[in-house]
Amino acid sequence: METARQKSLKSKIEAYFAACDATAERVTLKNGGVTIRQTPYTLAGLSEHLKKPQSEILAKGRKEGDGTEGRQYADALRRIGRYIVEHALLGELQYSVAAKLLEELGTGEKLPPDEEEKSIVIVLEDREGWGE
């Protein structure tokens, strides 16, 4: 049975995600496509909303077997991780930013290596037309 404190934490965590979702707006792109933009789910945002240090949220989330509070933090961290991965895969979040955010979460989620970021592309211009 959940205590009042645990219910309060659960409602505060849900309120954070709801506040992020409430900022969603439909944006029409120049190419005619449509995208949805909103305040992203992040550990920093959850930390600010709960007025708890990020390190405390991470520590309690890693001890999810130690009770309901730990599970609530772990669930929130996994939800943030899923959000980051999904938006990176949709191209709405830069790969390097997503990888860094997942690393900070410490939940074990990782993106596959981005081959584009590991390669160097050299483009030579033939302004004088000598290559023709």
Phi, psi angle pair for 5, to nearest 5°? -65, -40
Digitized pLDDT (tens) for each residue of the chain, 132 residues in all: 557 777 799 999 999 999 999 998 988 888 888 777 889 999 999 999 999 999 999 999 888 667 788 999 999 999 999 999 888 888 888 888 888 888 888 766 666 665 555 555 566 677 777 766
Could you tell me the fold of the domain covering 4-118? Topoisomerase I; Chain A, domain 4 (1.10.132)
* Single pTM value for the model: 0.73
Place of tokens 């909303």: 49
34: left (phi over 0), alpha (psi -120 to 50) or beta: beta
